[in-house]
Amino acid sequence: MDHLGFSSGQGLQFGMYSLGDHLPNPADGSRVSAGERIREFIGYAQAAEDAGLDFISVGESHQEYFASQAHAVILGAIAQATNTIRIGSTSTILSTSDPVRVFENFSTIDHISGGRAELVAGRASRVGLFELLGYDLRDYEELFEEKFELLNRINREQKLSWRGKFRAPLNDAEVLPRPAQDPLPIWRAVGGAPTSAIKAGLAGVPMVMAHLGGTTSSFRPTVNAYREAARHQGFDPAALPIATAGFFHVAETSQEALRGLYPHINEGMKRTNGQGMPKQLFAQAVDPHSIVNLGSPQQIVEKMLHQHEVFGHQRYLGQMDFGGMPYDQVMKQIEIIGSEIIPALKKYTASPTPTSATTAPAANRHAAEEAAR
C-alpha cells in the first residue's frame, strides 16, 4: 500500500464519502432530480480535487431515496472528470454482487483514472437489496465472507480455479482486464464492533472503520483487535492502512455546526433506516472527545489530531452531503476543508520520514492545543 502515500511521510489523508442518497432538504421539502443528484457527485469530486482532498468515494444502495445504485458507472465518470484525487467505493455491497464482475468494473475504472481506483467491500447496512437482487438474507454473513475471499484471490492471482457455495466454479479462469495498480487496493468496511475488524486483520487487508457517534476512545479496542489479528496471522500491522469514516460538518462554532447538520441527519435516518437520530444523543457530537468531526475549523483539527494519536490511522473520510444537504453548502464545506483544515492536519501529522501505522507522531500530544491558539 506504499503507492497510496501512506508511508511516505505525507501525513493524515483527508477524504470525503457519499452514500449516494437522494433525499429532500428538510428545510423546505425540495429535492433535486435523480440526474442532477448524480451530477452532484461528479461536481463534489472536481471540487475536492481542487481543494487538495486525497480521496472521494460513492456508495451503492438499492432502495428508495438513493441515486447511486450504479456506483461503478458514477466512479467511471469521476475518473474521467478528475486527474489526481484517488477514487473508490464508499462500499461495494459484495454480498449481492459477483466478485468477477466487481473486479472487472474496478480494474476498468483503475485504467480510466490512470491508477487511482480503490475498492471498499461491505456487507450492507440496508438489506432491501437482498430481495431485489435475488439473494436470501439468511445467507448474509456467508455470502460476504465467501465472495470477499474470492475477490481477493482474483486480485492476487492471474489465473485461478475456485469452488464455493453461492457461485458457479471457476476453472483456470483469467479475469480481465488486470488493473493498472498491482494489486488493486481492496479494503474491508467495518462497523464499530471488533468482530469484522478481526476478520480484516486475519485476511491482511486494510480496514475502513465507520462510525455514527460515540467517543474516540470507545473505538480503540476495534483498532487494537484488527492489528493484533493481523500480527497473529503473520502480517505487519504497520503495513496495513486504517481509515475512519463518519459525519462531518464545519461552521464558525460547534453549536452552529450542530444546528446546521442535525436536521439533515435526523430526517435522512428516518427515511432510510426507519428511525431518526435522538437530538440529545447527537448533541454529544460537540464534545471534544466525540468521534464526530463537527465544530469550528480549529475544533475539528483538535478532534482529528486526537483521533490520529489514538488510532494512528492513515486516512479520514467525512460524510457531509447526507440528508438533502444543499449542493452549495457541501461545496462550502469542501472549500473550508481545503483552506483551513487540511493545511493544519498536514502540518502536524506529516513527517520527513515514514511513520509507523501503529504509532501516531508524538508531536500530536501538543499539536491540538497549539492549533486552537
DSSP 156-204: H-SSEEE--SSS--EEEE--SSPPSSSSPPEEEEE-SSHHHHHHHHHHT
Supply the pLDDT for residue 315.
98
318/53 Cα distance (integer angstroms): 11
Cell of 171: 476453472
Helix (H, G, I), strand (E, B) or coil at 26: coil
298/290 Cα distance (integer angstroms): 15
Cell of 144: 460476504
- Using the structure block, give the residue that is written with the C-alpha cell 457517534: 213
- If we measure between CA atoms, which residue out of 125, 324, 333, 123 comes closest to residue 212? 125
Supply the pLDDT for residue 354.
46
Supply the pLDDT for residue 24.
97
State which residues of the chain have pLDDT below 70.
1-5, 7-8, 124-126, 128, 352-373
Contact indicator for 371, 301 with CB cutoff of 8 Å: yes
Alpha carbon of residue 29 to chain centroid: 28
Contact indicator for 289, 217 with CB cutoff of 8 Å: yes
Supply the pLDDT for residue 364.
46
Supply the pLDDT for residue 6.
72
Give, in order, the Cα–Cα distances in Å from 222 to each of 31, 78, 150, 198: 38, 32, 25, 8
DSSP 66: B
317/55 Cα distance (integer angstroms): 8
83/22 Cα distance (integer angstroms): 26
pLDDT digits (tens, 9 = 90+) for 265-279: 999 999 988 889 999
Supply the pLDDT for residue 360.
41
Alpha carbon of residue 137 to chain centroid: 24
- Using the structure block, give the residue that is written with the C-alpha cell 468477477: 100
How many helices and strands, by DSSP H and E, does the chain display?
A: 13, 12
Supply the pLDDT for residue 363.
44
Question: What's the pTM value of the predicted model, to 2 decimals?
Answer: 0.92
Supply the pLDDT for residue 208.
98
Beta strands 160-162 and 170-173, pairing class: antiparallel
Contact indicator for 205, 189 with CB cutoff of 8 Å: no
The string of DSSP codes covering 266-328 is: HHHHHHHHSS---HHHHGGGGSTTBSSEEESHHHHHHHHHHHHHHH--SEEEEE-S-SS--HH
Cell of 175: 479475469
C-alpha dihedral (311, 87, 121, 24), degrees to nearest 10: 100
DSSP 241: -
Helix (H, G, I), strand (E, B) or coil at 125: coil
CATH class in words for 2-372: alpha beta
